[in-house]
Homo-oligomer: A and B are copies of this chain.
Amino acid sequence: MHIASDPVADHSAAAPYSWTIRVYYEDTDAGGIVFYANYLKFFERARTEWLRAAGIGQLALSEGDGVMFVVKSTSVDYHAPAKLDDELKLTVVVERLGRASVEFLQQAWKISPTGSTLLAVGRIKVGCVNCASFRPSAIPPHVLDRIPR
């Protein structure tokens, strides 16, 4: 399933941030494919590395600013399955940046010598909250300044 004309693929043209991972036994299920819930983990690994590349560490954020990012909503469409040993590329695009929230468009692609296959497309909304109260909190300015747009 090589997808060239998919409208969401236009983001690829903009060369979004991407992070590459491998599929291990831990990621698969008895169907012989990656367990669908694990794409949420994969997408988060990519967002975490995207933040780290921008100089933002999440442990430092919670310990230094008393805030953390929590996921408010997720939406994932699964197009094709991945298998053990597959190499996956996860992309990160900010679709909307609010005062206390960020909305991401993320894709999972299978990378192979014969081309890339779109496996899953996710829309993830995260909110910045106070670590103790879990109440919404403005994203600290020093973080906001560093978030790539």
CB within 8 Å of B: which residues of A?
22, 24-26, 28-33, 35-38, 40-41, 44-45, 48-49, 52, 57-60, 62, 68, 70-78, 81, 83-85, 131, 134
Contact = CB atoms under 8 A, between A and B. Distances in A.
A29, A44, A49 — which one has the most chain B CB atoms within 10 A of its CB?
A29
Please tell me how many copies of the chain the complex holds: 4
Contact of A85 (B25, B57, B74, B76): B57
Contact of A36 (B29, B71, B77): B71
B78 A72 contact: yes
A69 B47 CA distance: 30
Given A58-B84, A74-B76, A84-B59, A29 B26 contact: yes
Given A29-B29, A37-B41, A48-B22, A74 B75 contact: yes
A31 B81 contact: no
A28 B37 CA distance: 13
A37 B31 CA distance: 18
Contact of A29 (B30, B40, B45): B30
